[in-house]
Structure 1
Amino acid sequence: SNLYPEELGEIVGEVMDAFRDSTCLELQQRACEYFAMTKVLPKDKVDYILEAMPRFPEDRVSAVVRRLQSKKIGKNILRNRKSSDDSCVDIEEENEREYATSDKMAKGVDAELLRKMKSWFIVSIRDSPKALLFENSLLQVGVQKQFSNFQGQIVLFYGNKAGHSFDNFEVWYSNTPGLEINQLEEIKCENIGSKTQCKQRLSVKCTSPFIQPPTFKISFNCNGQKYMYDLRLPVVATSFAQPLTLKASDFSDKWNKMNDREEQTILQVASGAILKKEFPTLTQGLRFALVDCENSDKMENDVILAAAAIRVGANEEAKRPEAAIGCLIRVEIDSAQNRCVLSVRGMHPLATGAVKNLFKEQVAATVA
């Protein structure tokens, strides 16, 4: 109307006036602004305000676009922003977190269900393709997973066991330093009907060692009541481990070279004999390879050795290339005292701490 005031000025003014009391707040605001502009401001001011913006030079990249590209931020992407300087990480503080469960934050979860959730998670991080993560009278959460090298594919299943539908069903994922989580498939069912389920696909990539597994929060309304649960995603450091087959002599050489990079803990168990029997299966479940010590006269019968390399992908932000971080385990079992000494040595302190905490939790669950 400012370009053709005689032909369009009155018509456009009537349109703006008609929408000044619109129930759509966005439309109402714009109509009031443009209507007042033509009534209050002189024509030269209106012409200046409504003047077309100059075209952005084609040979330049917008600062906003450049920043988005550099940060690799997408609508369905959650990325970590870990500092490129590992010296900034408080290693002792990380190791003291003891692989803590976030299940305590879950609303409406009693002590018995908390115990089951911890047990389900311990089983789920072993090298099995399917597992149960959560189940109560309302909700069941299952997982399928597959890992290769430093990447993995995960499918989460959310089942409604209740007699009413789940409304406003939402899932949020935490940001774990060293791990990239991409939502390959949005949850398409905001409302999950009774006795039905929906699924969600994720991809994960390990870019540096990490101790804490990622968490995710589930929220929904059912029969007028709001529910919210915090769960752990079964993605841990050993998910990206590659078993290393070593001779006892090779293991000993590598072990001695890392004598200043050790994490150790003493575990009291119900039965040292059971632990000795079950530990090989437990070790292989966490993608470590057992070291054959039968032909080594220097090894005691109650010592178990295992080795693996944790694969990490390239981190463009930190300018770190793809790498394999070696980790070695030595377990000395004292059957008479029903205890064991768990020692872990690795090429990265976070990897060492993560492996120690994982095996500590697995041993405690296996021989309670």
Structure 2
Amino acid sequence: MVKVGGYILGEFGNLIAGDPRSSPQVQFELLHNKYHLCAIATRSLLLSTYVKFCNLFPEIKPMIQEVFRTDHNLRNPDAELQQRAIEYLQLSRVASPDVLATVLEEMPPFAEKESSLLAKLKKDKPRVEELEQQAVEKKSRPTAVMNQTSSSSGGGGGGVGALVDLGSPTGAPPSSGTNGLMDVFAGLSGSTNGHAVNGGGVGVGAGSFINDAELKKFVLKQNGVMFENDLVQIGIKLEARGNLARVGVFYGNKTGQALTGFAPSVACPGELASQLIVQAKPVDANLGAGTQVQQLINVECLQDFSTQPLLNLRFTHGAKAHDFVLRLPLFINKFFEPTEMTSEQFFARWKQLSQPTQECQKIFPATQPMDNEQIKTKLSGLGSKLLLNVDPNPENYVCAGIIHTKALQIGTLIRLEPNRQAKMYRLTIRSSRDSVAKHLCDIISQQF
């Protein structure tokens, strides 16, 4: 049990670390308390779990390095245990956070192999009635994308039935079908900041990419469907810590034949190239019929930014080439670290940020019902800390956070004041960097 539990925590312990009962230190101590009772093989596996903790939880890295340094591990007569202790200690010392995240990323599951006999029977005698029934079910079920369970897969796996809804961001119902998504993209046209695009009959207008109305939904959520047509479905799942982020992009082939020459790439146009470092891992050039593949994109935020990287997707379906560009839904608030403050601390800091250039304010009409719980959910989704019982007016909402970039840390305070009689909001943002205050004011005001 220790062996299996240690492996699971090393890979996915971050998913439960928000609960004080399973904080990073608690997870580590529960495992290490049994370390001296375990066999050599289990101890070796636990050392692998510990080094993965260095990636998942940098705050407990010194504790883990002390374990690697002990004589019992560094000078153990078992060569395997000794080698792991030495190599993991050096890896935790020398590697940068970005390199460490790449080396210690989640291991993909083994692909399931289908019986060759069963495959031959399916090929020789296709079950027409079953295929017709599948087609009916496919039309009736909701549009789907890879869920979190399948996101750890590095390659294709399963058929179209494996595409599962990622869920909605703020309690809203999930998308209910292709037609609804197609309405969003219908009629779009124009340039893409110098990137030529050929729609190639993919089901949207030539020159189209995800528009601002669709893109703004991702300000408040970390995953969802960002594009879909008759051929492919593209979803994302984002995780961030400090000024580093990892984006999983999921490509699903909705057709009955392989997509060849499949080549997604990411670019940072203009000044974005000096604000972000983006590294996209390559994927296989062939995406089989009804399969899905994940592409990992590592992002380092060098300084604050206000535009998005572009995702260019090229592939051939049948004899027809397709080439289109999407905006990758990456926003500066994804690099927020929530900050807890008392009322005195909040307003003391608020007064310190009193320069005209440090404040941006916008008054705008409500476009949605002014529901308390919905407002709280949206503000929590920004990534900053929603502070309750801090503002002297109980109708107001305040948030605090630090935006991490490589160049500097940007303290940011948010105050939202609803006027329910007039159905208006006043949004005020004060930040140590004027460009951040202005950009956050623009994207947050669009959410209410």
TM-score, structure 2 length as denominator? 0.50
Identical pairs, percent: 20
Aligned CA distance change for structure 1 residues 145 and 136 (closer, same or farther; 3 Å): same
Aligned CA distance change for structure 1 residues 109 and 270 (closer, same or farther; 3 Å): same
Aligned CA distance change for structure 1 residues 103 and 180 (closer, same or farther; 3 Å): farther
1:273 maps onto 2:273 in alignment: no
1:194 — aligned with what? 289
1:341 maps onto 2:426 in alignment: yes
1:126 maps onto 2:223 in alignment: no
Letter of the aligned partner of 1:228 in structure 2?
D
2:387 — aligned with what? 291
- Matched residue SS, 1:273: coil
1:157-176 alignment runs, 5 A limit: 157-175=250-268, 176=272
Q: What's the offset of the Cα at 1:301?
A: 3.1
Q: What's the offset of the Cα at 1:140?
A: 0.7
1:350 maps onto 2:435 in alignment: yes
2:350 equivalent among 255, 261, 277: 255
- Unaligned stretches of 5+ in structure 2? 1-184
Q: What's the offset of the Cα at 1:250?
A: 1.8
1:204 — aligned with what? 299
- Matched residue SS, 1:300: coil
Work out which structure has the larger RCO, using CA pairs closer than 8 Å and 6 or more positions apart in sequence: 1
Distance (Å, rounded) in 2 between the aligned partners of 1:120 and 1:222: 26
1:264 maps onto 2:361 in alignment: yes
Distance (Å, rounded) in 1 between the aligned partners of 2:318 and 2:211: 24
- Matched residue SS, 2:394: coil
Q: What's the offset of the Cα at 1:109?
A: 5.7
Distance (Å, rounded) in 1 between the aligned partners of 2:442 and 2:258: 39
1:156 equivalent among 249, 253, 274: 249
Distance (Å, rounded) in 2 between the aligned partners of 1:103 and 1:182: 28
Distance (Å, rounded) in 1 between the aligned partners of 2:428 and 2:219: 21
1:178 maps onto 2:272 in alignment: no
Aligned CA distance change for structure 1 residues 150 and 116 (closer, same or farther; 3 Å): closer
1:36 — aligned with what? none
Letter of the aligned partner of 1:291 in structure 2?
L
1:139 maps onto 2:241 in alignment: no
1:330 — aligned with what? 415
Distance (Å, rounded) in 1 between the aligned partners of 2:210 and 2:304: 28
Is the radius of gyration larger for structure 1 or structure 2?
1
Q: What's the offset of the Cα at 1:271?
A: 4.5
Distance (Å, rounded) in 1 between the aligned partners of 2:204 and 2:282: 30
- Matched residue SS, 1:253: helix
Aligned CA distance change for structure 1 residues 121 and 103 (closer, same or farther; 3 Å): farther
2:323 — aligned with what? 228
Structure whose residues are more often helix by fraction: 2
Q: What's the offset of the Cα at 1:280?
A: 1.4
Aligned CA distance change for structure 1 residues 362 and 229 (closer, same or farther; 3 Å): farther
**Structure 1, residues 67-90: CA drift from partner, whole Å, max 9, x if none?**
xxxxxxxxxxxxxxxxxxxxxxxx
Distance (Å, rounded) in 1 between the aligned partners of 2:264 and 2:277: 17
Q: What's the offset of the Cα at 1:121?
A: 3.9
Aligned CA distance change for structure 1 residues 267 and 110 (closer, same or farther; 3 Å): farther
Aligned CA distance change for structure 1 residues 115 and 214 (closer, same or farther; 3 Å): closer
- Matched residue SS, 1:357: helix
Letter of the aligned partner of 1:285 in structure 2?
G
Distance (Å, rounded) in 2 between the aligned partners of 1:265 and 1:165: 49
- Unaligned stretches of 5+ in structure 1? 1-100, 314-319, 364-368
Aligned residues: 246
**Structure 1, residues 247-288: CA drift from partner, whole Å, max 9, x if none?**
2222222222223211122221135532x4312111111111
TM-score, structure 1 length as denominator? 0.60
Letter of the aligned partner of 1:331 in structure 2?
L
**Structure 1, residues 157-188: CA drift from partner, whole Å, max 9, x if none?**
111102332222222212124111112x211x
1:77-116 alignment runs, 5 A limit: 105=192, 107=199, 110=204
Distance (Å, rounded) in 2 between the aligned partners of 1:357 and 1:225: 40
Q: What's the offset of the Cα at 1:342?
A: 1.2
- Matched residue SS, 2:400: strand
Q: What's the offset of the Cα at 1:338?
A: 1.3
Cα RMSD (Å) of the superposition? 2.7
